[in-house]
Amino acid sequence: MPPIVAAPLIRIALGAIGSAVVIRWVVKEVRRINAELDRVKAAAKVDAAAREELPTLRRDPRTGDWRVM
């Protein structure tokens, strides 16, 4: 094969390989971030349930102290 034709083919091959590596890295990052967001969302649901069990505090208008209502 003449060297004039081989150089563009090598560039195209290297570009394709580089693109595949970048796409694979992006897919892994997206999956990792989504898994982390799902974990945080699940923890927030547990926190919301635990928060509902806590008593509500209101300020007493006479004394200004916080009291369970």
* pLDDT for position 25: 98
User: How many distinct structural domains can be found in the chain?
Assistant: 1
Q: Which two tokens stand for residue 25?
A: 């890295």
Tell me, what's the pLDDT at 64?
A: 86
| Residues 6+ positions from 33 with CB-CB distance below 8 Å | none
Residue 43 belongs to domain spanning: 3-68
pLDDT at 1: 55
The whole-model pTM stands at 0.57
Give the residue ranges of the chain where pLDDT is below 50. Answer: none
What is the Cα–Cα distance from 25 to 19, expressed in whole angstroms? 10
Give residue 23's pLDDT.
98
Check residue 28 and give its pLDDT. Answer: 98
